[in-house]
Amino acid sequence: MSSKKNSRLSLRALATLAGVSVSTASRALHDHPMISEAVRKRIQALARRRGYVTNPLVGQVFSEARAGRGFQHLGTLAYITSYETADWWRGHPTLRGFHEGVVGRAKQMGHGVDEFWALEPGLKGRRLTQILRARGISGVVLAPVPGRSAEGLFDWKHFSVALLGESVKVPRLNRAVPNQRHAVSLALRELTQLGYRRIGLVLRERYHRMTDYIMLSTFLTFQHGLKASERVPVEMPAEWTQAKFMAWFKRHRPDALIGAVRPARDWLAQQDVQSPRDLGLVLLDWDEELQGFAAVDQNATAVGAAAVDLVLGQLRRNERGIPAIPQTVLVDSMWREGATVRPAGPAWSPKFFDGDFELDPVGANPPKE
């Protein structure tokens, strides 16, 4: 079979077959009113017979042009959330970063972003599908879904979709994800290099579910190589309470904590436990508004941008619906210096970071047993 037979029919070739100009063929395919109905139907029928496939991004351009917005705007993407309220995500630094990255990369690529709250009464399912299609929206970025399932959210077959994070198990989608194994490993590396030995992980159980337990499994793998005296049981409550946290802290006495440590700092301070004097504190979800905290920055804006790239790639390839083989793009984290950990001292680290699980002092002065 020749390569010519296998190649996709171009718009110019279709116009030649139809005996019209390229601009006339393009306008006919996109139902432009300046082309007569008879000519539009003839060219559209010819396109179907010859297997011509319209690029959906071009379709969005013509939709915008017909609406009087010119050709500089290349169409609109949907950003769909399904949290408890429409604005709940705005109080979460990583989720704000996701949105910022989506909007920023979409704008860079010539696209706008319309936000939809899927739990708005009467919107989920058929109605949401109808609204998206009526607005000419073919690309969707789906924010993390607390319920683990996105079935019934809308009719997938009409859209190119990318998920933010690992929250959705059904259906399996293309996704852009913070590399959470790297985030936990980075925090552990920094703390162990500062000489901390009894490190605790404090995150709500809900957060572990939404991140597919990747952070928890990474932390437990790290602990596997520690002596029993250096292991700190994980604290993962359903809800934060001062009484339960302080009972856990007094029972296990960690010398460093990673995770959602903002409320922990205030509760500890009431018992005259200060950082970095008495223990180190590291946020696993960096927030620019919390100045002074040592933190892992999961680069949420880069994750949002990567999700847009996944959507636009699918649109260019005319790929719609649930992918047969989903792809995952991982974005690494970065360390943010802060005053909630002790200054740098003797260097040491566990072999965990090299693929082993035994503690291995490095440098001249490892911590004493």
Q: How far apart are CA 199 and CA 258, in angstroms?
A: 7
Alpha helices by DSSP H, listed for 109-204, are: 126-134, 180-193
Q: pTM of the prediction?
A: 0.71
Local confidence band at 348 (pLDDT 50, 70, 90 cut-offs): very low
Three-state DSSP at 34 gives coil
Chain center to CA of 94: 9
**348 vs 324, higher pLDDT:** 324
Angle at 262 between CA 196 and CA 348, to 5 degrees: 15
H/E segment holding residue 60: helix 56-66
Rounded Cα distance, 126 and 122, in Å: 9
Distance CA 54, CA 46 (A): 13
174-210 pLDDT tens trace: 999 999 999 999 999 999 999 999 999 999 988 888 7
Closest to 212 in 3D by CA, of 305, 362, 330, 127: 330
Higher pLDDT pick, 167 / 116: 116
- Alpha carbon distance 69, 64 (integer Å): 5
267 contacts 257 by C-beta, under 8 angstroms: no
pLDDT at 200: 95
pLDDT given at position 35: 82
- Return the percentage of the chain with pLDDT > 70, whole number: 85
Q: Is the pLDDT of residue 263 over 60?
A: yes
Q: Can you say how many angstroms the Cα of residue 80 is from the centroid of all Cα atoms in its chain? A: 12
Say whether pLDDT at 69 is over 70: no
Q: HSE-up of 14 (CA within 13 Å, CB side)?
A: 26
CA distances to 132, 141, 165, 187, 302 from 145, rounded to whole Å, are 19, 12, 9, 26, 19
What is the C-alpha to C-alpha distance for residues 38 and 53, in angstroms, rounded to an integer?
20
DSSP for 137-161 reads: --EEEEPP-TTSB-TTSS-GGG-EE
- pLDDT tens figures, 225-244: 899 999 999 999 888 899 99
Average pLDDT over residues 276-303: 90
- List the single range of 71-80, 305-314, 355-364 with lowest mean pLDDT: 355-364
Domains belonging to the chain, first-starting first, are 3-52 (1.10.260), 76-178+302-331 (3.40.50.2300), 180-297+339-360 (3.40.50.2300)
Instruction: Say what the pLDDT of residue 210 is.
Output: 79
Question: What is the H or E stretch that residue 117 is in?
Answer: strand 112-117
Structure tokens that stand for 291 in this block: 């100045």
User: What percent of the chain is predicted at pLDDT more than 90?
Assistant: 54
pLDDT exceeds cutoff 80 at 32: no
- Predicted confidence (pLDDT) at residue 59 exceeds the cutoff of 80: no
Distance between CA 225 and CA 221 in Å, rounded? 7
Residue 103 pLDDT more than 90? Answer: yes
Mean of the per-residue pLDDT values for the chain?
Answer: 84
Characterize 334-354 residue by residue with b for buried, 16 or more Cβ atoms within 10 angstroms of its Cβ, and e for exposed.
Answer: ebbebebbbeeeeebbbebee
Confidence at residue 13, expressed as pLDDT on a 0 to 100 scale? 87
Q: Per residue in 125-146, pLDDT tens?
A: 889 999 999 998 999 999 999 8
Q: Report residue 225: phi and psi, to 5°.
A: -90, 5
DSSP 164: E
CA 344 to chain centroid: 32
